[in-house]
Amino acid sequence: MKKPVKTILCCSFVLLVSVLTACAADVPAPAVKVETPELAAEVNGDKITKRQLAAECLLLYGQDVLQDLIGKTLIENECLRQNIRIPAEEIDAEIVRTAKTFKLSSAEFLQLLAEQRNVSAEEYRHDTVWRVLALSKLAGQRLNITEDAINEAYESKFGPAVQVRQLVLGSRAEADRTVQELRQQPDTFVNVVKNRSIDPVSQAYGGLIQPVRRFTLPTVAEQAVFALKPGEISNPVEMFAGQFVIFKCEQYIPAQDVDKQAVREQLIMKLRESKLRRAAEDVYKELQNAAKIQIIFGTDIKAENAGVYASSAAIVNGKPVSRNELAELCLRKHGKDVLNDIISRLIVEQACRQANIQITDKDIDGEIREMAVKHLPLKENGSPDIELWLKRATEESGQTAAVYRTHTIVPVLALKRLTQKSVQVTQEDVQRSFDANFGKKVRCLAVSFGPQDHRRAQEVWDMANKQKTPENFGDLAEKYAVDPDIRLARGVIPPIGRYSGAPELEREAFSLKAGEMSQIVQSDEALVILYCLGYVEPAVTKIDEVRADLIADIFEKKQKMAAAMYYENLFESARLDNYLTGESRNPQVREAAKNSGMR
C-alpha cells in the first residue's frame, strides 16, 4: 500500500464512530441492504466498509460531483431527445485517435491515465470520451475547423517570432513622452522599465517577455511588433483600457523547420479542444437555462412525495437523479483518496485509543483560538478573531466548519498529545536559535554559477579580483549570475547568518572583512563568489530577553517533526488490507519471515 500523499498533520482524522454518525445524519446510506457489508479496507483488524466510504465521499465531494452528474444528465436527456447515439465503436476510435497524437497505443494511453491521473479505463470512456463526443454532436457546426484556422495555429506555434521587451505605462500622455525619450536613448530601455513599468511580471525581467508569434497578441499589438527591426522602438499601443505598451525589438527568430502535414492532426486536436471548451459551455448553458432543476442533496427541502425525494439527489426536468448514483460516482471518482485519508486517521485513532487519549470539543475550540491568535491580529477589544480564522481556513481547504474541526484540527491535537512527552528543548537548541535569528549577520553581494561552470566562475573571479569594488561586482553579477533574482538585484542577497543551512557559504562569509572577496565556494550544487559589504550588528544582545519566544518556537517545530515521525512509524507498523487497490501489508509477518531467513 502506498503511503498517503498528504502528511498526517494535514490529513483528515476523527474518531471513526463520530465520523460515521455525522455522515449518516447528513448523507443517508445507499438503500441496498446486505447482511455483511462489503469491505473497503481493514486496518489492524478494524474494518472500513464501502458503505462508510461512500458516506464520507458524499460528505466531502457530494456537492461538486452532483453538478457533474446533473450536467451529464442534461446531456443524456438532450441526446435522447435528438436521437443522438454514441456507439462503443466511436468511443474506441476516439481513444485511438487521442492516443495516436501522443504516439501511444490506446492500451498504453489508458494505462498512463490510470497510473498518472488515477483514472480508470471505464471512467475515461464513460465520463470523458462519451461526454466529448456527445457535446461534439450537440454543438454541430460550432466545431467546424477551417483550413485558415489550421494555418493560423501552425503559424502561432511554429512560425517566425520576435523577441521583444515591453514597457507598460498607465496613460497615453506618459507613454508619448516616454517613447520620445527612449528613441533618443534606446540603451536606457531596461532601466526605464525597472523604474516606470506598471507590469510587475515583465518589470522584474527588464521588460523581457516570451517571443511573440503570429495570432498570439491583439492585432494592433502584433502589427506593431512585427513591423519593428532589431533595436527599434514602437509607438505606444493601447492593449487594455488605461494600459499603454511600448515594445523594443531585440531580435527576430526564424520559423521552425516543421512539416505542417506531420503536425496537422495535433493542431486539429488542439483547435478542436479549444472550440469544444467554448461550445460545451454554450451548449450546457442553453440546456441549463431551458431545464427545471431542483437540488435536494445538502438542502432542507420538504417534499410532497417524501419517498422520491428521500432517494434523490436532485430533480432534473421532473426526473429524479438517484442519491445512490451520486454516491457511486463520488466513490468512483474520489474513493481511493478518501480511503487513504480514512486509513490515516484510523491509524492515529487506534493509537489514541491505546493511549487512552480523547479529544473534546473544548480542546478543539482551544486549538482554533490559538491559531487565530498566532495568525491574525486581535480584535479591537483584544479578543482573537476566531470567526475570521474559520472563514479563511474553510475557504482555503474547501471544507465546512464541522469537517474542518474534525478532519484538520483533531489530527493536530491528537499528535500533539501522543508526542508531547518526547519533545524537549535543550540549552543548545536555544543558543543555536538565538544565533540564527538575532546573531551577527554578513552583508554580501554574490555571483552564482552552475555546478559545472568552473571555467566561467574562474573568469569572473579574475575580473572581480582586478577591481574589488561593489559597483564592479554588481556589474558582473548582473551579467553573469545564473540565478535570475541575483542577476536582477545586481548581486544583492539577504544577510547571511549562523545556521543558515548553507555551511560552506556561511563559513566563507564570516571569514571575510568589508571589501574582501571570497574564493569560489561550492554550495548546494552551485558555485558562488561573495563580496563582503560589512556586518549587521544584532539588535538583541541578551538571550534572556527573547528566551521564552525562542523556546516556544523551537518546541513547536520539534513537535511537528516528532508528530511526522510518530505517524511514519505508526503507518509502517500497521497491518493493512486495501481492497480497493488490492494491496496488503503485514509488517509482523514480514519481520517474522525475515528473522526466520536469518536463522
Residue 23 confidence class, pLDDT cut points 50, 70, 90: very low
Question: 533-542: per-residue pLDDT in tens?
Answer: 999 988 788 9
Using alpha carbons only, how large is the chain's radius of gyration in Å?
32
pTM above 0.75, yes or no: no
Q: Report d(CA 528, CA 453) in Å as an integer.
A: 10
Instruction: Look up cell 509488517; give the residue.
Output: 587
Q: Which residues fall within 8 angstroms of residue 567, CB to CB, at 6 or more apart?
A: 7, 8, 344, 347, 348, 415
Tell me, what's the pLDDT at 591?
A: 58
Burial (Cβ within 10 Å: 0-12, 13-18, ≥19) of residue 2? exposed
Tell me, what's the pLDDT at 491?
A: 93
Give percent of the chain with pLDDT exceeding 90: 59
Q: Which residues fall within 8 angstroms of residue 82, CB to CB, at 6 or more apart?
A: 138
Residue 187 confidence class, pLDDT cut points 50, 70, 90: very high
* More confident call, 102 vs 154: 154
Task: Report the relative pairing of strands 521-523 and 526-536 from DSSP bridges.
Answer: antiparallel
Question: Average pLDDT in the 338-345 region?
Answer: 94
Tell me, what's the pLDDT at 444?
A: 94
Tell me, what's the pLDDT at 595?
A: 57
Residue 361 confidence class, pLDDT cut points 50, 70, 90: very high
- Cβ contacts of 363-372, under 8 Å, gap ≥ 24: 363/413, 364/405, 364/409, 364/410, 364/413, 367/409, 367/412, 367/413, 368/405, 368/409
Q: What is the mean pLDDT of the chain?
A: 86
* Residue 348 vs residues 92, 317, 357, 561: alpha-carbon distances, Å: 45, 46, 11, 16
Tell me, what's the pLDDT at 301?
A: 61
Question: Average pLDDT in the 384-396 region?
Answer: 92
User: Which domains, from first to last, does the chain contain?
Assistant: 160-253 (3.10.50.40), 355-422 (no CATH), 440-536 (3.10.50.40)
Task: Answer whether residue 2 shows pLDDT above 60.
Answer: no
Tell me, what's the pLDDT at 302?
A: 55
Question: 190-224: per-residue pLDDT in tens?
Answer: 999 999 999 988 998 899 999 999 998 999 999 99
Question: 277-309: per-residue pLDDT in tens?
Answer: 788 788 878 888 999 998 888 876 654 555 666
Instruction: Classify residue 512 by its DSSP letter.
Output: -
- Going by C-alpha positions, the residue among 308, 417, 412 that lies closest to residue 356 is 417
Q: Which residues fall within 8 angstroms of residue 110, CB to CB, at 6 or more apart?
A: 95, 99, 121, 124
Question: 129-152: per-residue pLDDT in tens?
Answer: 998 888 888 887 777 888 999 999
Q: Report d(CA 413, CA 397) in Å as an integer.
A: 18
Q: Which three cell numbers stand for residue 21?
A: 454518525
Question: Average pLDDT in the 494-521 region?
Answer: 92
**521 in Cβ contact with 529 (< 8 Å):** yes
**108 in Cβ contact with 99 (< 8 Å):** yes
Sign of the CA dihedral running 374, 377, 383, 387: negative
Task: Answer whether residue 563 shows pLDDT above 80.
Answer: yes
Give percent of the chain with pLDDT exceeding 70: 90
Element (H, E) at 72: helix 50-81
* Residue 21 vs residues 107, 299, 340, 356, 483: alpha-carbon distances, Å: 42, 18, 19, 21, 54
Residue 180 confidence class, pLDDT cut points 50, 70, 90: very high
**314 in Cβ contact with 295 (< 8 Å):** yes
Question: Average pLDDT in the 332-357 region?
Answer: 93
Question: Average pLDDT in the 225-235 region?
Answer: 96
**106 in Cβ contact with 95 (< 8 Å):** yes
Tell me, what's the pLDDT at 272?
A: 80
Residues in a beta bridge with 320 = 315
Question: 456-493: per-residue pLDDT in tens?
Answer: 999 999 999 999 999 999 999 999 999 888 988 899 99
Sign of the CA dihedral running 25, 31, 36, 38: negative
Fill in the amino acid letter for 120: S
Residue 14 confidence class, pLDDT cut points 50, 70, 90: very low
Tell me, what's the pLDDT at 562?
A: 94
Tell me, what's the pLDDT at 21?
A: 29
Tell me, what's the pLDDT at 140?
A: 79
Tell me, what's the pLDDT at 11?
A: 37
Q: Report d(CA 116, CA 201) in Å as an integer.
A: 32
